[in-house]
A and B are shown apart, each in its own frame.
Chain A
């Protein structure tokens, strides 16, 4: 059995499981897990977008929740202010565009710094936006706001959990494919080169600032889509989506899953949420278990979950 085939067997099994998951859950009488699977996929989308920035580009951001939360608020605000426009084909691209533009502005300023200072300046922007939404009483203030119903998509009923799951799955697959192509493209190689040695890339004639900024914009736009989807899943948005612990959680997912690995976002989000889901049922002290697990990953699996699979490939 060649390595190539084994990898494809894994991938095939994963895709097959993803495709029949709602039927499987219904057959087992566990319909609740369909919405849970949508949640995992949305977090995976968010983590994958951050992985482009952190894993490929080497820019550690602790403010990713800003783009995610703003994407969610775009859906929420459109649903409140202009319900007639609350179609997925309008509100979701709007969320992507607004988050992307926001990323452009924040990125342009943040890129003056690097390393830990970059971590903190992205955190600062996200916290500022958190407080902006807390003070917007028209949109619920710190209570957040409920959204009357999910966005409309012609021909599909998104209120149905299984249908919504397939839409999320399709968007996740599409974005992951695009991220894979992007990482393998010239743009992705340059970005990885900047991560390794920015001075060298600069002296080779690359406008490194521009490459990094474009990476931030793409990453922020995808995070905005994740936020739009999460707003639809929960039919609720709140400032907490922008709070720094959300940025921290998604960063932890990326490191847990595997930095710079295509499947790292999915592996990290899946492992984190599944552990939380299963462990809360067992003990209220599950956070000690999660902490121990994360410590174990740091010391025994430095390349994350994806790294465990990669090693087997050899």
Chain B
């Protein structure tokens, strides 16, 4: 019984971690290659979720809605890069923070104006709404299982692109030494736009997959943005591998904290206190993880270009 529960929470942690990875991968690449702190990354996730929810409702088909929404978000992301963010690469980090914070304000308010303040409903498609019996006695939501499969597939694809293709080589070169990559004749402008578009598409994919589980509403971007940044920093800025390991760590620690912390505390302390402090301690555990990692590895687990 308990071992099944632990196994189920492991899967939940994996599922959440993989979604965090989708967000963190784009963030860490933009960060590592373009040296841009992009606070608006969470806005792309929100925008992606809204577009997917709207297009799914309009077309009546989750897959079609998701594909269109992801493509639209990628285009919006690339437009954003060309029109505004491109002017920020040469600026210091604080100007980037201010400018992308401004973008958060603008996109939140625009979303609120276009879609209203009520959260949108994005339903799990009927063919994924059941549960799958993984082991005798362990039924697991088919949709969450699908998230895990998609997440692993994307991670594998990213790994192949980055280690085996020419564009991946350019990305790695850009992340470890940008001036040198430029000097060697890389068309850095097009590369940056492409990377940004891909990052935006990953955001929208995460939004499409998490939309049915969490609420599609204004402000969803900021909460997960913080977790994505924590992931990036734990892994080491610019490192895809670090983002993957960091995302799984954060996903599992967060899920386990939420699932088991109150019960564990009840053994040691009064039930009233445990119920009050349990969820908070679970939330704290992620930050504690990050502080611990940075205490021993001040540049993250997989430092790039050291």
Inter-chain contacts of B277 with A (CB < 8 A):
135
Query: Is there contact, CB below 8 Å, between B294 and A131?
Result: no
- Identify A291's interface contact among B95, B102, B237, CB under 8 A: B102
Q: Which stretch, B103-111, B178-186, B190-198, B208-216, touches the partner chain A? A: B103-111
- Identify B299's interface contact among A109, A117, A124, A248, CB under 8 A: A117
CA gap between A123 and B97 in the complex, in Å: 14
Query: Is there contact, CB below 8 Å, between A117 and B105?
Result: no
CA gap between A254 and B9 in the complex, in Å: 43
Q: Is the C-beta of B2 less than 8 angstroms from some C-beta in chain A?
A: no
Say yes or no: A116-B106 contact (C-beta < 8 A), given A252-B98, A297-B98, A298-B98: no
| Smallest CB separation, A57 vs chain B (Å) | 13
A 107-121 binary contact with B (CB < 8 Å = 1; else 0): 001001111110011
Inter-chain contacts of B110 with A (CB < 8 A):
288
Q: What is the count of residue pairs linking A and B with beta-carbon distances less than 8 angstroms?
A: 118
Looking across the interface, which residue of chain A has its beta carbon closest to that of B279?
Answer: A135
Segment 246-287 of A: residues with Cβ below 8 Å from B: 248, 251-252, 255-256, 259, 285, 287
Inter-chain contacts of A115 with B (CB < 8 A):
93
Q: How many residues of A contact B (CB 8 A)?
A: 43
Q: How many residues of B contact A (CB 8 A)?
A: 44
Query: Is there contact, CB below 8 Å, between A125 and B109?
Result: no
Looking across the interface, which residue of chain A has its beta carbon closest to that of B105?
Answer: A291
| Smallest CB separation, B286 vs chain A (Å) | 8
CA gap between A245 and B112 in the complex, in Å: 19
Q: Is the C-beta of B281 less than 8 angstroms from some C-beta in chain A?
A: yes
Q: Is the C-beta of A11 less than 8 angstroms from some C-beta in chain B?
A: no
Inter-chain contacts of A127 with B (CB < 8 A):
226, 283-284, 287
> Which residue numbers of B lie inside 8 Å of A, CB to CB?
31, 37, 84, 87-88, 91, 93-95, 97-99, 101-106, 108-110, 113, 222, 226, 229-230, 233, 237, 276-277, 279-281, 283-284, 287-288, 290-291, 294-295, 298-300
Supply 12 A–B pairs (Cβ within 8 Å), ascending by A.
Answer: A116-B233, A116-B237, A121-B290, A124-B291, A127-B287, A128-B284, A131-B280, A131-B283, A259-B94, A294-B98, A298-B98, A299-B87
